[in-house]
Amino acid sequence: MLFNSWTYITFFILAALILRVKYLPWRYSLAVLSILFYISWDYRFVPLILFITILNFFSAKFIDKVSKIELKKLILAISVFINLAILIFFKYILLILSMFESVFDIKHYVSHFHSIILPLGISFYIFQAISYVVDVYRKERNAEASYLNFMLFIVFFPQLIAGPIMRANQLLPQLKKRPKINNNDLKIGMSYFLNGLFLKVVLADNISPFVDSAFDVNPSLLGFLDISTMGFLFGWQIYFDFFGYSLIAIGSARIIGIMLVDNFKDPYISQSIREFWTRWHISLSQWIRDYLYVPLLRVFFKDQRPSNLNLLVILCLFVSWSLMGMWHGSNLSFLIWGLMHAVFLLIYRINQKIFPNKLFKNKIVKLMSLGVTLYAVMIAWIPFRANDANHTYELFLSLISHENFLSLGLREDTYLIAFIITIGYFLYYFVVNTFKVKNINLEFIFILFKVMMVYIYLQAKDQFIYFQF
């Protein structure tokens, strides 16, 4: 049941109406609807997600009850280990086995694992479950007393498949009783929902064929302009696609009275790579920071504040970003993407040490920083979209090759589309943030335009990119 389908729209309208019926138990109704939503994808993995809820619910309860710190640590370690073991099995078992295949004769055994299906949303709901147990261990919250409430925290259908990754303190309190929905919630929720559909079906899905055809071209026929254009095109596609999903998820939740956190805040206007990661996939980058990077630093430095350029700090940075990359999939090209961002962040830290802070307040420097950051981020999307690590290598080789430096190996309209979208985005951002005009007639016309475009293009032909993670 794709968000960009009439099936989901019908399901959601019925779900919202059911949840408004006062004599029906709200939490049980929401739980049944969420399970039905997941069953529509694949009923075989319902026992798995329920096992995850039981495992982490009771792990947190035990951690909350026992007094010995060593026992708390043991329970936490077992819980995290089982969670990660499940994730690694479904997501990385083929990669792990292929690494041993060249050393040991295990081809016969490897063939049995090719039929493994990746459970939808597993990376997201396991990360959400782990954060809950860790928060209880850190005494940042008490263990939830009701299993039903905790199950809803994991299986809440608007954000079950691809986030945003919610913290227990953000979502659990909202699920304990029937929310009061006002007209403002409905208006904001429907606006988010419509904008998300527009970004997905009108923009992302129509950019997709150009991206696919570009990445199918032999890299040896491409040059600097081609690879740069491909990076920008996919950068816009994945932004409109994932931002669109997030808006639909947030809008769906808001219509039924639940508030989810924003996952994107105009990331492509960032003036540094650090700023970019406070604006892009915010819930994941904060999760990596709070549950991986900072704990790694504490292992080495306890409560001290080391320099950002300390070798151990740099090691923690690269470990965190390597895992950030591999979280997206077992393809080694994701590792390259993660390492590229680690390098960008290291360069940013070095620049902060070398150049005075007042330099970065200069308008020309700000504009240059925006341009450099934008290009770096877009080029880093190349390995994210490439078929594999070898394809990534060939594309980057063509990027820096002097032989085809100014060659045009793509369809002519590909360059024009990338240029128009890039310029259009910044013009739209400038106009919206400079001329904050509230004109009811113009707003109505714009809404009507988006509704018509969504109606024309709405079809479940392309799933959301992040559903594969």
- pLDDT per position in the chain (469 positions), as tens? 677 788 888 999 999 999 999 889 999 999 999 999 999 888 889 999 999 999 999 999 999 999 899 999 999 999 999 999 999 988 887 777 776 666 665 665 555 555 677 788 899 999 999 999 999 999 999 999 999 999 999 999 999 888 799 999 999 999 998 998 888 899 999 999 999 988 998 899 989 999 999 999 999 889 999 999 999 999 999 999 999 999 999 999 999 999 999 999 999 999 999 999 999 999 999 999 999 999 999 988 888 888 888 999 999 999 999 999 999 888 899 999 999 999 999 999 999 888 888 887 888 988 999 999 999 999 999 999 999 999 999 999 999 887 777 778 888 889 999 999 999 999 888 877 776 656 555 566 677 767 777 867 777 666 666 666 5
Whether residue 243 is found in the same domain as residue 275? yes
Final residue of a structural domain among 148, 178, 208: 178
Whether residue 129 is found in the same domain as residue 195? no
Whether residue 139 is found in the same domain as residue 206? no
Element at 338 (helix H, strand E): helix 332-354
Whether residue 18 is found in the same domain as residue 161? yes
Host domain of residue 446:
185-468
Show Cβ contacts of residue 247 under 8 Å, excluding neighbours closer than 6 positions: 192, 193, 195, 196, 199
4 close to 460: Cβ distance less than 8 angstroms: yes
Q: Is 372 inside a domain boundary? A: yes
Whether residue 386 is found in the same domain as residue 244? yes
Q: Is 419 inside a domain boundary? A: yes
Q: Is 1 inside a domain boundary? A: no
Q: What is the distance between the alpha carbons of residues 241 and 2, in angstroms, rounded to a whole number?
A: 13
Determine the pLDDT at residue 109: 59
Whether residue 240 is found in the same domain as residue 389? yes
Final residue of a structural domain among 159, 178, 197: 178
**Tokens 């970019």 map to which residue?**
276
Whether residue 322 is found in the same domain as residue 458? yes
Question: What's the half-sphere exposure (Cβ side, CA atoms, 13 Å) at 142?
Answer: 5
Whether residue 290 is found in the same domain as residue 361? yes
pTM: predicted TM-score of the whole model, two decimal places: 0.91
Whether residue 458 is found in the same domain as residue 412? yes
Instruction: Report helix, strand or coil for 388.
Output: coil
Determine the pLDDT at residue 103: 63
Number of structural domains in the chain: 2
Whether residue 43 is found in the same domain as residue 61? yes
Determine the pLDDT at residue 110: 58
Instruction: Report helix, strand or coil for 403.
Output: coil
Determine the pLDDT at residue 94: 75
Note the Cα 235 to chain centre separation in Å: 14
Determine the pLDDT at residue 6: 83
Q: Is 441 inside a domain boundary? A: yes
Determine the pLDDT at residue 120: 84
Residues in the chain, total: 469
Q: What is the distance between the alpha carbons of residues 325 and 341, in angstroms, rounded to a whole number?
A: 9
